[in-house]
Amino acid sequence: MENVISMYDKLILHKITYETSSACVTAECELVSQNKKTLTSFLISHTDLNRILSKIISEGYEFDSELLNTVQFEDGTEIVDYQFNHVFGEAIILEDFDFTHAVTEIRA
């Protein structure tokens, strides 16, 4: 399933959520291909999340980690939630982005 996103023109990111002890990140997004949008969610790696954040920063956005919404449980587990439209006033659009690790679509 690697590079499944590369067949699309744009990736519009709305929200990322992950549990600190998990190897996966949930990315809620839209895929744009030939001006048709598909709302979906993917499980991606933390490496690809870091690559996404690097690309966002390189495009002039300031990623403020203080704006992460977190929920901490008694066992030390933490859930992190970041909604791009609340932080930047809009979803983030990425073009020419290929994932380096396997991507699993969890909802179409």
Summarised one tens digit per residue, pLDDT across range 55-79 is: 888 888 887 777 788 999 998 899 9
Domain that holds residue 42: 4-107
pLDDT value at residue 38 = 87
Residues of the chain with pLDDT under 50: 1-5
pLDDT value at residue 1 = 38
65's CB contacts (< 8 A; 6+ apart) are none
12, 29 contact by CB (below 8 A): yes
Tell which residue, 6, 96, 101, 9, has the closest CA to residue 55. 96
Count of domains forming the chain: 1
pTM assigned to the model? 0.79
DSSP helix/strand/coil, 7? helix
Tokens representing residue 39 in the block: 């709302």
Distance separating alpha carbons of residues 49 and 46, to the nearest angstrom: 5
Q: How many CA atoms lie within 13 Å of 43's alpha carbon, on the beta-carbon side?
A: 10
